[in-house]
Amino acid sequence: MPDTPSLKPHLLTLVAYHGWANKVLLEHLSPITEADYHAPAGLFFNSIHGTLNHLLLADRAWLGRFIGKPEKFASLAQEIETDREALAEQLAGRHLLWQGLIESASSETIMGSLHYTTTAGEATVTPWLGTITHVFNHATHHRGQISAALTGLHHACPELDLIYFLRLRGPAPSII
């Protein structure tokens, strides 16, 4: 069994990285044109905008499951924020909600199970620790897709690897 006290700093590092990576990506997206932002880019959620909307939707859906207040969405591709700036603003602060969740989680919670209903309506149970790790991994996956779309649209893409965040952060743990 992993040492639970050592898991919280690790999870908080993932939260801080999540916030940093979203911030860096959103900064790189701010100067691109509306046409490029909404252009079909061969992504699962079509465009950069569609993928950012999915990131917000998934983040809200997962957090709702973790705190026992699930949100329901018509589909994983549902546009929940049409305004580009409002979408960026909502994404920018989401990591703070996860930070609070992790800071308040007991060892029993971290090492326990998460009971929730999937978007398909199935009741399910998954490991709490593995599921929260999935949330951050999922966001990393889609940020990577957006980086590839930026490259395909001939824009610079940011370095979002975790190691760059760790180098910036230095050896002492801190939270964004």
Give the model confidence (pLDDT) of 116-166 as tens digits. Answer: 999 889 999 999 999 999 999 999 999 999 999 999 999 998 999 999 999
Residue 15 resides in a domain: yes
Domain count, the chain: 1
Residue ranges making up the domain that contains 59: 4-169
Residue 174 resides in a domain: no
Residue 72 resides in a domain: yes
Residue 175 resides in a domain: no
Residue 158 resides in a domain: yes
DSSP label at residue 30: T
Residue 106 resides in a domain: yes
CATH number for 117: 1.20.120.450
Residue 66 resides in a domain: yes
Residue 35 resides in a domain: yes
Pull the structure tokens for residue 164: 């760059």
> What length is written for the chain?
176
Q: How confident is the model at residue 6 (pLDDT cuts 50, 70, 90)?
A: confident
Closest CA to 58 of 176, 2, 125, 142: 142
Pull the structure tokens for residue 54: 């999915």
Helix (H) or strand (E) holding 29: helix 4-29
- pLDDT recorded at residue 5: 59
CB neighbourhood size of 18 (10 A): 22
pLDDT at position 176 over 60: no
Predicted TM-score (pTM) of the model is 0.91
